[in-house]
Amino acid sequence: MFCLIFLIPLLASCASAPAPNNKQPAAANVQETPLPCWKNEFCRANSYPENEWYLGFAEDTISNKTNVTEFRGVLEQQARGKIAESMRMEVYSQKEMETKGELRSGDGLNSETINRIFAETVKVNAAAVLVNTFTDSYQDVNRKKIYAFAAVRKADLAGYYEQIIQMNLSEAEHNIAIAKLSEAKKNIESTVQYRTLLLIVDAKTGLERSQNERANELLKEIAAVKAGAAVSAKAFFVAGTDIIVPGLQAILHDNGIRITENQKEADYILKIDANVCNIRSNNSIHYANACVKVILTNAKTNVNEVVASITGPKEGGSSAENVGEKALRSAALDVWAKVKTQILGDL
């Protein structure tokens, strides 16, 4: 009995002792917010298909001294910037020649203007191109990181750009009606950036929605009004390379400029000397440019008001002879660009 009495407390003591445990306590798994959908690739693909949305991401590590609220804002802005950057790259690398070609008009914006505005479009910042953009951020406490996400629907961007274009072209029409031609031209130029972006975000109907034809018709109207007021009394004589001369005469006529076949009656003489240059071949395809010297002379003062050398657009084709003719013919637009301001004045 003596042994039994002391044995029972001993067994009870052993039974109440905790079992040995070599595992460390698990770290606290506390998240500031539930995991958002955009952090999951499958969920993101279903909620934000890339054919309908532009997406941007940013992430960075935080320290104990980081102001989390401010840091979230910085990363969300970076995510928006990633969208703008992807749009700029799309404009620049995939659509450059197409958009420039769609926006070019022989009677409206010349090559230099298109190139300048196109460059401005490529450099455009996120605030100017992104509207109705959704942004969000998520803090992973365990990893000490913050993730940021931005998304904007392409259809929303297209609608916004279309609205801006409509508003500015309507303002241009109003300014033409009250003879504020400089303001009207600025209105139209301000749409080029948005017309370019619209072609990018809406590949199917962007060209139609961009009102490119309407913009060019307004530019022609400005040129006609200005030409009628400024040069209707002046006569121009065009001489030089046969292939370019008819094209230039047609452009002058379309801008309301009087052309004379008698050099003695002319107030101005526009002389063109051109030849085919930079001829090269790639297998059966031939390429060439037109190298042109342009001289615009005031016949009354015998002063050369414009003297310029230009290289026209590169043309290609299966025949070297036809390519040369095409190169000379297409150079007429660039010649007009050189003399337009002097003839019409600064619109």
Residue given tokens 């209707």 in the structure block: 232
- Positions in the chain short of pLDDT 50: 1-31, 97-98, 104-108, 125, 346-347
What pLDDT score was predicted for residue 346?
43
Burial 151-177 (b: 16+ CB within 10 A, else e): bbbbeebbbbbbebbeebbebbeebbe
Please give the domain boundaries of the chain with CATH numbers for all domains: 30-223 (no CATH), 231-342 (3.30.160.150)
Burial class (CB in 10 A: 0-12, 13-18, 19+), 143: exposed
What pLDDT score was predicted for residue 4?
38
The answer to whether residues 259 and 148 touch, using CB atoms and an 8 Å cutoff, is: no
pTM of the model as a whole = 0.53
Q: At 113, give phi and psi (nearest 5°).
A: -65, -45
- Distance in angstroms (rounded) separating the CA atoms of residues 74 and 33: 19
The answer to whether residues 219 and 184 touch, using CB atoms and an 8 Å cutoff, is: no
- Distance in angstroms (rounded) separating the CA atoms of residues 257 and 229: 10
The answer to whether residues 96 and 152 touch, using CB atoms and an 8 Å cutoff, is: no
The answer to whether residues 191 and 165 touch, using CB atoms and an 8 Å cutoff, is: yes
Give the tokens for residue 205: 């109907």
| Helix, strand or coil, per DSSP, at residue 284 | coil
Q: Which residues contact 66 (CB under 8 A, 6 or more apart)?
A: none
The answer to whether residues 54 and 86 touch, using CB atoms and an 8 Å cutoff, is: yes
Of 324, 161, 160, 329, the C-alpha closest to 242 is 329
Helix boundaries (H) for 202-319: 206-209, 212-230, 244-254
The answer to whether residues 64 and 135 touch, using CB atoms and an 8 Å cutoff, is: no
Neighbours of 222 (CB within 10 A): 22
